[in-house]
Amino acid sequence: MKPVFLRVLVVSFVLTALAVAGTGCVSPLARRRPIIFKEEELQVEREPDQLLMNLTALRSRGPGTHSLGPGDFLVINVLNPSAEETRYKYELRVSPTGHIMVPQLGELYVDGMPVSALEAKLTSDFKKYIRSPYVTVIPTYATRNLMVMGAVGRAGPYEVPRFRSTVLDALVEAGGLRDTAGDKLIVIRAGAADPTSNPDGEAQLRVLEMDLDRLCSGDTSLNLELNDGDIVIVPPGPRHHLYIQGHVRNPKRYDVDRDEQVSVMQAIAMAGGLTFQASKRHTYVVRHFGTEAEESTRIHLGKIAAGKQPDILLNPGDSLIMESSLARQFLYYLRGILTLGVGYSYAL
């Protein structure tokens, strides 16, 4: 009687499962619109985001106050508190050598001097003319125009403050590094003209190459101060990453040659194929743009296999996520229940 009872139980479960399958139930995640995948659901470490945080932390190291330097524009007000009037007002620009010319005081060297220190010095010097002078210095810091190219989040031109113009600053402004970034970084800058080698007097380009891994690991000796007009290039590496997650046999990050194009079906084959619970109707390609925006596209694996839909090519850094249907999950757990040490095993 026991085997007959188990067979009846199996038939009842199968009929229930088929009824559920007929409703086309899918997982709650598949029904959401728009699709938003959290890091915990992806179960992968998004390296570009983490690296951007690391770069920002490295950039933040250093003095908290900004010092004056060449190209800065200063508005200096010297007040006479007893007369309640502004006695002197100057609008000055710091020279390339780091000096300013104050008519009553002469030439002052201010390169590297904090604003508060300059205010204290001017207050002391103007006591020759005003008993208790009150001096304010309002700086407008010079900017530098840089170009960031290559495997970064947002390649393009950037205008940055002079005190935020190191290599790390440029990478942070450009949204950090992409998955495709290699292990080198190149800075191209115009050097001074050399009349002996270039009689036309044109500036010579200098190419500086550095180890990107060492820079991102905190080697401050590589964090160069960039000049106006410098070009920062992050060449792509020989390999890029694909993130294959969800109901495949080997979900993980896969390294792929940079020149190799991988389609959705090829990626699933790389991951060992689908598991029993996988739903062919609910597969998603999540495409990341820089470090903020992402786009999710739903595809139907059954239609791709039948030639009714094109097999999508994946971009570097894409995530391929296979979900499961409620019906297949039910059948999977039912099969597990029927093989729990009762001496019988039924193929569903």
Contact criterion met (CB below 8 Å) for 156 and 198 = no
Instruction: Please give the structure tokens belonging to residue 221.
Output: 């000796």
CA distances to 33, 100, 273 from 323, rounded to whole Å, are 15, 67, 13
- pLDDT of res. 345: 34
Q: Taking the alpha carbons of 247, 251, 253, 257 in that order, is the dihedral positive or negative?
A: negative
Q: At what angle do helices 326-337 and 2-22 cross, to 10 degrees?
A: 170
Q: What is the pLDDT of residues 281-317, one digit of tens each?
A: 888 888 876 555 578 888 888 888 888 888 888 887 7
- pLDDT of res. 63: 43
CA distance 262 to 316: 9
Q: Which residues pair with 143 in a beta bridge?
A: 161
170 conformational bin, left if phi > 0, alpha if psi -120 to 50, beta if neither: alpha
CA distance 94 to 110: 8
Longest CA span, the chain: 115
CA geometry: angle 329, 330, 332, nearest 5 deg: 65
CA distance 209 to 232: 10
**Beta strands, E only, 63-130:** 73-80, 85-93, 99-102, 106-109
Instruction: Please give the structure tokens belonging to residue 196.
Output: 């002996």
Among residues 67, 58, 89, the alpha carbon closest in space to that of 170 is found at 58
CA distances to 213, 236, 250, 322 from 245, rounded to whole Å, are 27, 24, 8, 6
Q: What is the pLDDT of residues 189-229, one digit of tens each?
A: 876 545 444 555 565 788 999 998 888 888 888 898 898 89
| pTM (2 d.p.) | 0.53
Centre a 10 Å sphere on the Cβ of residue 103 and count the other Cβ atoms it contains.
8
Q: Hey, what domains does the chain have and what are their CATH numbers?
A: 16-45+240-325 (3.10.560.10), 51-63+143-234 (3.10.560.10), 73-140 (3.30.1950.10)
pLDDT tens, per residue, the chain with 348 residues: 445 455 545 555 555 544 444 444 433 333 333 333 333 333 333 344 555 666 666 655 544 457 898 889 999 999 887 766 768 899 999 999 999 999 989 999 999 899 999 999 999 999 988 888 899 999 988 889 999 999 888 899 999 888 888 899 999 899 888 877 888 999 998 765 454 445 555 657 889 999 988 888 888 888 988 988 999 999 988 777 788 888 888 888 888 876 788 888 988 888 898 887 888 888 888 887 655 557 888 888 888 888 888 888 888 778 888 887 776 677 777 776 666 544 433 333
